[in-house]
């Protein structure tokens, strides 16, 4: 049966559907020897010879959903040009079958998802799904109430404010720990948010994605999601409409700068616990 190429590539565990589309547009995909650049092209995974970067595609009929407790000092990518350890090195027999859902930076640790389900990946990552991600963050210094309010309300990054966040203290000390929950995921967002208020993030660990908690999974260990865990995540994505193709990685709608200036300060609601 014929399917769209990007769906076939995602099902094979090569990349998400969006990344697969980029591969097609960049001329990295061939079908029966013919270079394909047009999105929407269909192929039959059982009868057509599909190649990505010159390598034959191995299609997988079984959808996989895994969670890893990522260690620090590990990059979230399939291959690293600098030769550093990647998250794929920790997957054992699953390595060639799945790809990461989103990322954690080199110095961060904690919960990271893997799958070969492109629609699931796009739903979890879509801004419209509003899937919350929760982190435990150790910082140097002691933010004031005003600092925390500013972080909750939004910090301007790349010229636009971050979405409201939940932040509360979970451990006091010379270097306190905070629990931070976001509904968006810009590059190094939490580190940059605290840095703007003058605080260095020393440790960052993701402990939850939607209803899925890291729990007691040991560092560097991977396991499949249970049926209950998967159902909870999918319910969250579908409830918010994140499963639709049109919503893939669509940025959250923001009012124009003029509209923001004209709004009263109370119009931007805080998202608090």
The domains located in the chain, with CATH, are 3-56 (3.10.290.10), 65-127+216-247 (3.30.70.580), 132-209 (3.30.70.1560)
Q: Is 266 left (phi over 0), alpha (psi -120 to 50) or beta?
A: alpha
pTM: 0.73
- Higher model confidence: residue 187 or residue 46? 187
pLDDT beyond 60 at 234: yes
Residue by residue, DSSP assigns 158-172 as: TTEEPPP-EEEEEE-
pLDDT beyond 90 at 230: yes
Predicted local distance difference test score (pLDDT) of residue 253 = 33
Summarize pLDDT for 144-171 with one digit per residue, the tens.
Answer: 999 999 999 999 999 999 999 999 999 9
pLDDT beyond 70 at 272: no
The catalytic residues are 105
Q: What is the mean pLDDT of residues 244-266?
A: 37
Listed residue (214, 233, 224) closest to 62, CA to CA: 224
- Sign of the CA dihedral with 45 first, then 14, 11, and 17 last: negative
Q: Are 51 and 95 in contact (CB under 8 A)?
A: no
pLDDT beyond 70 at 237: yes
Summarize pLDDT for 83-117 with one digit per residue, the tens.
Answer: 999 999 999 989 888 899 999 999 999 999 999 88
């Amino acid at each position: 049966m014929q399917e769209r190429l990007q769906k076939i590539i995602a099902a094979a565990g090569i990349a998400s559907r969006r990344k697969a589309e980029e591969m097609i547009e960049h001329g990295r995909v061939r079908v029966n020897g013919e270079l394909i650049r047009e999105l929407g092209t269909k192929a039959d995974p059982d009868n057509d010879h599909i190649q990505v970067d010159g390598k034959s595609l191995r299609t997988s009929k079984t959808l996989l959903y895994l969670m890893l407790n990522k260690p620090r000092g590990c990059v979230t990518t399939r291959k690293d040009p600098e030769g550093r350890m990647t998250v794929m090195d920790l997957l054992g027999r699953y390595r060639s079958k799945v790809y990461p859902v989103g990322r954690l930076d080199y110095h961060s640790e904690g919960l990271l998802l893997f799958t070969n389900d492109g629609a699931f990946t796009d739903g979890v990552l879509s801004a419209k799904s509003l899937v919350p991600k929760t982190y435990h963050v150790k910082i140097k210094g002691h933010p004031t109430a005003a600092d925390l309010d500013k972080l909750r309300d939004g910090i301007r990054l790349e010229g636009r404010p971050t979405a409201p966040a939940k932040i509360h203290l979970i451990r006091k000390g010379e270097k306190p720990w905070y629990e931070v929950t976001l509904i968006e995921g810009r590059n190094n967002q939490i580190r940059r948010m605290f840095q703007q208020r003058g605080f260095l993030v020393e440790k960052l660990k993701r402990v939850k994605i939607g209803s899925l908690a890291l729990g007691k999974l040991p560092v560097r260990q991977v396991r499949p999601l249970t049926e209950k865990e998967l159902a909870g995540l999918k319910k969250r994505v579908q409830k918010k409409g994140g499963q639709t193709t049109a919503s893939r990685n669509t940025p959250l709608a923001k009012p124009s700068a003029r509209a923001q200036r004209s709004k009263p300060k109370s119009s931007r609601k805080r998202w608090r616990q």
